[in-house]
Every structure is written in structure tokens, then in C-alpha cells.
Amino acid sequence: MKAGFRQSMAWLHTWSGLVVGWLLFAIFLTGTVSYFRPEISLWMRPELQQAAPGTRATEVVIAEMQRRAPAAPSWIILMPSERNPVASAFWRDPTATPRGFRQAQLDPRTGGDLAARATAGGDFFYAFHFQLFGLPIPIARWIVSFCAMVMLVSIVSGIVTHRRIFADFFTFRPRKGQRSWLDGHAALATLALPYHLMITYTGLVTLIALTMPWPILTNFEGNRAAYTAAVFGIDEAVPRAGVATPLTPVTPLVAEAKARWHGGEIGRVLVTNPGDSTATITFQQQDSDRVSVSRRTIIFNGTTGAVIATREPDGPADATRGVMYGLHVGRFGGGVMRALFFLSALMGSAMVATGTILWAVKRRQKSGAGAGTRLVEILNVGAIAGLPAAMAIYLLANRLLPVEMAGRITWEVYCFFIAWAVLLLHPLFRSHRRAWQEQLWLGAVLQVAVPVVNVVATPGSALAATLPAWRWDIAGIDLACLAFAVLLGGCACMVGREAAAPRQRRGAVQSAAAE
């Protein structure tokens, strides 16, 4: 019975992994780089790199918004932080096309506009990793949740299959074909196993109100707004009274918030009905100084400055949700912790990649090169080696497309997808080894090209300028590209060596397979 259980789990692990492997790799890798979303965004907007948060940002930005949009129903302002020196303001304006919204990037020291090239920045990778691209958002999120669910099942069945977890930790037999892929896959999986379980489960939890809404139906009689208000502290809008009343000075409110939060910084400001007697000012705390993202919130009366309500995470389940979400997005703990999460996530990506490669290697050994095996091999190359190359293209497009180009944001994204599509088709016309080698080398060259093109296109944000200024947030992107280039080049060399001596290896592979 015990052997039967392990066998059925091995079957489940093999096939569940394959079904979602390619999409999962893309979700994992774009999610991995999203730990540095603000840094990527700043790298992609070199015009903003000299901005600084300033000390009176809240006062400055609210004063500026009173000039710009005194009659807007509400302003939402994302305050600057140490990772993002810009304040972003959003407000409703019926004359704005196409969606009735305006937004501005404000200098938190002066309130003036900060003009930067149009780009989606790191938000593109971030959004792709949980809602893909071009699909209706709920459908895309369902697809991603499905992939994550299969991932969870793969992890659990994988643990059962490779129960020698401690031994796998230290086992690697290089240059032994299938055996090496298996060892590599198991080592990557076990090294960061707690991380893989955590990131998959917490990822599912972030989309849970969409995929498992039934408790909202039973506990809130299906009133989603009531649930949102209770969990996220967002209340429904109150209509204007029509009595013009000036907004209260903000400085005492800022002091009050900081005192209540023991020095915690303001992350988000919401002002409703500014200039009216019904105005409210809401501060939400920044979430970079603790694990949980459950937002501590203070709501002030906008004309008297009196505290109307506060919201703290209320029960253990709410606190748990906040911690799960916080662990997933990894905004706490500073750069070193984030770098460790980044490395764990890279191992997760590599685990998925080696898993799909192992499937094809094993299959070819057992039943030769059938159409199914060949299809998997073709998809493996484009999905795994093609993606980092396309991601480099996205960064390169940011520097090479004209700054004044119309539809620039969209074209950066199109460049990414065109490159990826070409690389998905390319293995159709090449031998399997050739396809791997060419795409890995191409990826390495493109990654090297990122810091090089940066020197030519925007010298002010290149390594020669950012390293002496200790701007690790910006230099880190260039350095990471170089590291990725080394990694991809190393993989390409590995494939090359394998091709150089296939004969002598065959015997070793067969004895390993017989084990």
C-alpha cells in the first residue's frame, strides 16, 4: 500500500507539473523580479532618479492638490517612500479621457510635476505575474490561481515522491544526464522548500476573495462591499453637502498619525469631498516596517481635524491574512531580506524549469522522440530560455524607443511579447540542442546589452554614475542583468559541453536509468 501511495504520488507529480509548467515558470520569474518593482520602475524612469521624498511631503502634496483639483470628489495619493521618491496622485475628472481619471507624478518637495518617459515600469511584470496580459482580469486571475493550486499539489506530491529530503539536500551527481537533472530539481526544491510552500499558499490567499467567495456570501449575505469595508477599512462615499468649507491644516494630523503609530510613516492619503463641509482625510500607514500588510488607518474630519475613526487589524484571522499577504509581497525587512527572497524565488523558477526539462529528458529515454516529447521540448526552450531574453528586450525597449513616441507604454510591452513569440516559434526550425544554445546565448547577450545601452542612452543612470553615488537601487538593476547574463551563458556552455561528448555519456545515462 505504501509503495502504491508513493507511485500514485509520483504519477501525480509528473503530470500535474507538466500541465502548468510553462505558465508557472513565467508567473514565477516575473513574480521574482517583482520583489524589486519600485526599483525597476525607477530604473525605467531615469528622469525621476534625482527626486527625493522630502520632509513635509504630505503637506506639500495636499496643498498642491487643492490648487489642481479643488472640486474633485476625492484624491488618492500614494506617498513617497525610501524606495520610491515620487508621490503619485489620482483623482476623478469627468473631462479626462478615456476613463475619467487623471493622475500626476508630483515632486514631494515642491509639488511640481515630474515629467518622465511613459512606461509601465516594474508594474508590468508585477501585473503579469497574477493577471497575465490581454485577458479579462477575473479570468486571468482564475487561470493563475489554477496554476498555483496545481503547484501546491505538485509540491505536496513531490515531497511524498522524494521523501529523502535531507539526503537530497546534499546530493548532486553532475554530468550524468537524467540523473543530474533529477538531483538538480530535487536540490532546488528542498533547499527552499519552506519558501516554495509559503509563496504558493500565500499567493492563493491573495486572490481568495475571487476564487473562494462563498464565506462572503454566507457571512455578509453576498454584500461584497460590506466585506471589503470590514477587511480593508474602505467606507462608501458620502455625497457633498454643498457647503464650502476650507480643508483643515494637515500638519497637526500628520503629527497625530505618527504619534499613534509610534513613528510609522504615512503610505497612502485619501481625501474625500475636499472643500466641502463633509470632507474627510484618511491616512493609511506604510507597510514596509512590519510583516503584516493589514493597514492601520486613521480617518479625520476634513474641516475640524478631529479623529472620526481608526482601524487596526482586529482578530487573529485578519492578522493572519495580513501576515500571509505581507510574506507574499515581501515589502518588509529591507534589502538583504528581499535579496534572500529573490534568491529563493529564483530557485523556485529554476525548480519549475528543471522539472519540465526532466520530464522531456525522461520521456525521450523511455519512449524515444515521439510527437508529444518533441512538442514539450519545443515549448520548454521558448518558455524557459525565451522569457529572460524577452524580459531584457522590455528593458532595452525602454531605453531605445523614442521618449516622445505615441503609445510608448504599449509598445514597450509589445516589444516584450513580440520577442517572446518569436522565441517560442524559433525551436520549431532548429534542432533541440541548437535551439537551447542559441536562445541561452541570445539571452546572455541581451542581458549584457541592458547596462551597455544604458551607458549610451541615459549616461546619468549608468553604472559609471550610479556606483560612485552609492545608488544601489538603480545600479542593482544593471548588476542583476550582468549576473543573469553570466547565469544564462553558463547554461549555454553546459548545453554545449553536453553536445560535445554525447557518445561517452550514453553509457553512464543508461546505468543511471537502470538504478
Partner 1 sequence: MEARRIGGIVSRCVAAILGGYAVAALSSIALARLGSRVEGALIGMMASYAIYTAAVIWVFAASSALRAWVGLAIAAGVFGGAFWLLGVA
Residue 217 or residue 421: which is nearer to partner 1 going by CB?
A: 217
> Is residue 116 classed as helix, strand or coil in its secondary structure?
coil
- How many residues bind partner 1 (CB under 8 A)? The answer is 35
Residue 218, CA distances (Å) to 222, 226, 227, 232, 413 in order:
7, 12, 11, 19, 41
Query: Least separation, in Å, of the C-beta of 143 and partner 1?
Result: 13
C-beta pairs of 130-139 under 8 Å, 24+ apart in sequence: 130/27, 130/31, 130/203, 130/206, 130/207, 133/413, 133/417, 138/210
Query: Least separation, in Å, of the C-beta of 194 and partner 1?
Result: 16
Sequence-distant (6+) residues with CB within 8 A of 433 are 495, 498, 499
If one asks whether residue 11 binds partner 1 (CB under 8 A), the answer comes out as: yes
If one asks whether residue 90 binds partner 1 (CB under 8 A), the answer comes out as: no
Torsion sign, CA atoms 104, 109, 115, 116: negative
Residue 242, CA distances (Å) to 198, 238, 275 in order:
50, 12, 9
Query: Least separation, in Å, of the C-beta of 256 and partner 1?
Result: 26
Residue 8 or residue 304: which is nearer to partner 1 going by CB?
A: 8
Query: Least separation, in Å, of the C-beta of 308 and partner 1?
Result: 20
Residue 335, CA distances (Å) to 109, 325, 332, 338, 453 in order:
25, 18, 9, 5, 26
Sequence-distant (6+) residues with CB within 8 A of 382 are 420, 423, 424, 425, 426, 427, 439
Region 300-319 residues binding partner 1, contact defined as CB under 8 A: 314-318
Residue 60 to residue 71: CA distance in whole angstroms: 18
Region 136-155 residues binding partner 1, contact defined as CB under 8 A: 149, 152-153
Residue 455 to residue 244: CA distance in whole angstroms: 53
Residue 148 or residue 346: which is nearer to partner 1 going by CB?
A: 148
Query: Least separation, in Å, of the C-beta of 2 and partner 1?
Result: 11
Among 51, 231, 351, 462, binds partner 1 (CB under 8 A): 231
**Residue 295 exposure: Cα atoms within 13 Å on the Cβ side:** 19
If one asks whether residue 230 binds partner 1 (CB under 8 A), the answer comes out as: yes
Residue 445 to residue 441: CA distance in whole angstroms: 6
Q: Which one of 21-29, 226-234, 336-344, 425-433 is the stretch in contact with partner 1 (CB under 8 A)?
A: 226-234
Cell matching residue 93? 475628472
Query: Least separation, in Å, of the C-beta of 8 and partner 1?
Result: 5
If one asks whether residue 156 binds partner 1 (CB under 8 A), the answer comes out as: yes
Cell matching residue 198? 509559503
Query: Least separation, in Å, of the C-beta of 190 and partner 1?
Result: 19
Q: Which of 359, 373, 398 is nearest to 42 (CA)?
A: 398
Rounded to the nearest 10 degrees, how much is the dihedral formed by the CA atoms of 212, 218, 224, 227?
A: -100
Q: Which one of 4-12, 161-169, 340-348, 412-420 is the stretch in contact with partner 1 (CB under 8 A)?
A: 4-12
Residue 134 or residue 316: which is nearer to partner 1 going by CB?
A: 316
3-state per-residue secondary structure call for 236-290: CCCCCCCCECCCCCCHHHHHHHHHHCCCCCEEEEEEECCCECCCEEEEEECCCCC
Phi and psi torsions of 333, nearest 5°: 80, -5
Query: Least separation, in Å, of the C-beta of 10 and partner 1?
Result: 10
Query: Least separation, in Å, of the C-beta of 134 and partner 1?
Result: 25
Residue 305, CA distances (Å) to 256, 267, 409, 464, 505 in order:
10, 19, 40, 49, 77
Phi and psi torsions of 313, nearest 5°: -55, 130
**Could you give the string, one character per residue 340-379, with x where binding to partner 1 holds by CB under 8 A and - elsewhere?**
----------------------------------------
Residue 115 or residue 225: which is nearer to partner 1 going by CB?
A: 225
Residue 169 or residue 227: which is nearer to partner 1 going by CB?
A: 227
DSSP per-residue string spanning 71-113: T-SEEEEEPP-SS---EEEEEE-TTSTTTSEEEEEE-TTT--B
Query: Least separation, in Å, of the C-beta of 218 and partner 1?
Result: 5
Query: Least separation, in Å, of the C-beta of 217 and partner 1?
Result: 8
**Could you give the string, one character per residue 185-224, with x where binding to partner 1 holds by CB under 8 A and - elsewhere?**
----------------x--xx--xx--x-xxxxxxx----
Residue 264 or residue 313: which is nearer to partner 1 going by CB?
A: 313
Query: Least separation, in Å, of the C-beta of 160 and partner 1?
Result: 8
If one asks whether residue 47 binds partner 1 (CB under 8 A), the answer comes out as: no
Residue 239 or residue 316: which is nearer to partner 1 going by CB?
A: 316
Residue 220 or residue 332: which is nearer to partner 1 going by CB?
A: 220
Residue 9 or residue 492: which is nearer to partner 1 going by CB?
A: 9
If one asks whether residue 228 binds partner 1 (CB under 8 A), the answer comes out as: no
| Sequence letter at residue 114 | L
Region 243-302 residues binding partner 1, contact defined as CB under 8 A: none
Say if residues 345 and 36 touch (Cβ distance below 8 Å).
no
Among 66, 310, 320, 365, binds partner 1 (CB under 8 A): 320
If one asks whether residue 324 binds partner 1 (CB under 8 A), the answer comes out as: yes
Residue 208 or residue 234: which is nearer to partner 1 going by CB?
A: 208
Residue 81 or residue 200: which is nearer to partner 1 going by CB?
A: 200
Say if residues 58 and 79 touch (Cβ distance below 8 Å).
yes
Interface residues with partner 1 (CB under 8 A) are 4-5, 8-9, 11-12, 149, 152-153, 156-157, 201, 204-205, 208-209, 212, 214-220, 227, 230-231, 314-318, 320-321, 324
